[in-house]
Structure 1
Amino acid sequence: MRNIAIVEDEDLAAQALMDHIKQYEAQTGQRFQIFRFANGADFLKDYRAVYAVVFLDVQMPKMNGLETALQLRRCDKNVSIIFITNLVQYALKGYEVDAVSYLIKPVSYYDFSMKFKKALDIYLLNEDRSFTVNTPGGLCRISTDKLMYVEIMNHRLFYHLIDDVIEMTGVLSGVEQQLSRFGFLRCNKCYLVNPKFIVKVKGSTVQVGDNLLQISRPRRAAFLAELANWYAGSAGGE
């Protein structure tokens, strides 16, 4: 059962979405747990990355939908966002936060069902390539498609994403075990790198995105062998 959040201050609009979800359940046989929030601030309070799809009204009191989405993306890169709005121009800004789509009020069931299915499909695709971590701000979901490398420094873990850095306490050995199924490689005692983002290896350094990381002498042979195996497996899967 997937969790669905509706963040909508208008009771009638929220009820219409819930009715559409119930109709979708009846047609597809899928089951969903629905959570309704009256504004973005309430939704983000003690947020946990447990939702597959979030329906976000653009115009709300306290915190509008776009502001809510920006904060949401800091702790949940995978949840599918669908904006609900009266005006198309507001919804178009949603693509800045990787929104799946938008729905114009009043929302028809046909439009809802098409975009809800798309949002679920995208979430399921991303779910297979993501993992969760406990941060000081709560449970956070990270996509390995955006995670370039993990660094440990002074007993602090730094998850370096394409567009963000997430910091928390922890040990790299535990992260290494968690990320082994995604092919992450250890180049020294301080770094775990995502081979998808490796640009080149030269001497004792590996370029990950725009970052040059050191390869330790004891790890170099094993690192290069593991990287070669990853490339061979990646090429074979294409």
Structure 2
Amino acid sequence: MNEQPLRVSICEDDAAQAQFLARQVHAFASGARVETFARAEDMLLARGEMADILLLDIQMPGMDGVELARELRARGNRAQIIFVTGFADSMQAGYDVEAVHYLLKPVKPEKLLEVLARARERLEAGARMATLRVEGEWARLRVQDVLYAEARGHYAHIFLIDGRELRVKMALGDLADALGAGFFRCQRSFLVNMRRVVRVSATHLALEGGREIPLARGMRDAAVRAFAGCN
């Protein structure tokens, strides 16, 4: 991320608001490449390079920001999404697109800069790769594609967001070291990617896609701290 300029696309039908957001992006990263669109449909039709971060207004004529985000995700776009809205009751819409944050208008510059920093951290974390020996062959795995891993005998079974399951002959503790920060040992047999957790209860961790991983007794406070540190 440090070698190439940050690429940000803004979709906002209010021209003054779009200009304000663009200025703040440049204040955050002076060399950033910023594109602005007044309509969701225009962003979908754009043929430029794919952005790293998307700033999307939720309320727009025609296709709204949530619909736009869902369509982009369906097309394989994995940019970090920040929603901007004038209505507090819209701030839970589009949870399924993994938005970084929801900003309420009028947007405070310091809050926007904080959220942009969080989005950039996610980009850097998402670019991490782990090299593992899978079924006798060396393979490079994108760390953020991991949902969780489960220890079974002498093997660790790694479950990915696309539904695949990989088997590696290594202890869960060694796998945790290979995958790096952001993973939590919620009990002896499970290692969870906390960036893929949507809810922490007293007894389990709820992951994207509906899977629930049991949480060892007495581990809830540690799980909450790990969850807060990744969001």
Instruction: Tell me which interval the TM-score lies in, with the shorter structure as reference length.
Output: 0.5 to 0.7
Residue 72 to residue 113, structure 1, CA distance change in 2 (3 Å): same
Pick the aligned partner of 2:11 from 4, 7, 13: 7
Q: Partners of 2:75 and 2:39 in 1: how far apart?
A: 18
Deviates more, 1:39-48 or 1:58-67: 39-48
Q: Which has the larger radius of gyration?
A: 1
What corresponds to 1:66 in structure 2?
A: 66
* Secondary structure of residue in 1 paired with 2:52: strand
> Structure 1: which 4+ aligned runs deviate by more than 3 Å?
46-49, 75-78, 181-187, 194-202, 206-209, 229-233, 235-238
Q: Partners of 1:6 and 1:17 in 2: how far apart?
A: 8
What corresponds to 1:234 in structure 2?
A: 175
Identity of aligned residues (%): 23
- Residue 49 of structure 1: how far off its partner (Å): 6.8
Residue 112 to residue 212, structure 1, CA distance change in 2 (3 Å): closer
* Secondary structure of residue in 2 paired with 1:183: strand
Q: TM-score, normalised by structure 2?
A: 0.57
In the alignment, is residue 16 of structure 1 matched against residue 20 of structure 2? yes
- Residue 56 of structure 1: how far off its partner (Å): 0.2
Residue 74 to residue 49, structure 1, CA distance change in 2 (3 Å): farther
What corresponds to 1:56 in structure 2?
A: 56
Q: Partners of 2:176 and 2:121 in 1: how far apart?
A: 25
Higher RCO, Cα 8 Å, sep 6+ = 1
| Structure 1, unaligned runs of 5 or more | 130-180, 214-222
Q: Partners of 2:45 and 2:51 in 1: how far apart?
A: 14
Listed one character per residue, the Cα deviations across residues 77-110 of structure 1 (whole Å, up to 9, x for unaligned) are: 6311111111011122132311111112222211
Q: Within 5 Å, which residues of 2 pair with 1:132-171?
A: none
1:201–1:207 contact (8 Å) kept in structure 2: no
Residue 198 to residue 92, structure 1, CA distance change in 2 (3 Å): closer
Q: How many residues align?
A: 164
Compute the RMSD of aligned alpha carbons: 3.6
Counterpart code for 2:132: G
Q: Within 5 Å, which residues of 2 pair with 1:176-187?
A: 182-183=131-132, 185=134
| Structure 2, unaligned runs of 5 or more | 181-231
Q: Within 5 Å, which residues of 2 pair with 1:1-238?
A: 1-25=5-29, 30-45=30-45, 50-76=50-76, 78-129=78-129, 182-183=131-132, 185=134, 227-229=168-170, 233-237=174-178
* Secondary structure of residue in 2 paired with 1:92: coil
Q: Partners of 1:69 and 1:19 in 2: how far apart?
A: 23
